[in-house]
Structure 1
Amino acid sequence: MATYKELKKKFIDHLMGVDLYKMNITDLYTYACILKTVDEMEQPSCAEAMKTAMEPILNYCKAGNSGSGVFGIG
């Protein structure tokens, strides 16, 4: 059985090979919706984005609490 990444790669390769000039407006709309969905699957979730944004602040606070902060207080 194929993994998620393998299936996604095959699907994207298939989409790249589609001749857009032979498509009608409905097919082009469906193609655009599929591309948008694939792009959204690549984006991090809100929780992941928030965690990534907060990590530097948390690390700074931890360093300050251990006595190795900016002013050496601790």
Structure 2
Amino acid sequence: MIIQTGDGRYYVSETTTAVRTNKVGNYIAVAEHMGLYGYKKYCSSANQYKTLQDAYRAYTKLVTEGDYQQYKDTLPQ
């Protein structure tokens, strides 16, 4: 996933999905429940990018050449 923080930084990070429930029913969330600063565990200087374009390039490379090639067909054409 791509995360943008309030200070304008972008990160490419791994996460898990979780099933959550609300008044309407169940839905899939892209991360487990986290507190106000819980996102920080997904962010490190190793995966930090200055622009969304740079972050998306890194994400695309991870999906097309890295550990997540089974999802390469989910990228927009």
Output the TM-score relative to the length of structure 2: 0.25
> Which of 1 and 2 has higher RCO (CA within 8 Å, sep 6+)?
2
> Based on CA coordinates, which of the two structures has the bigger radius of gyration?
1
Higher strand share: 2
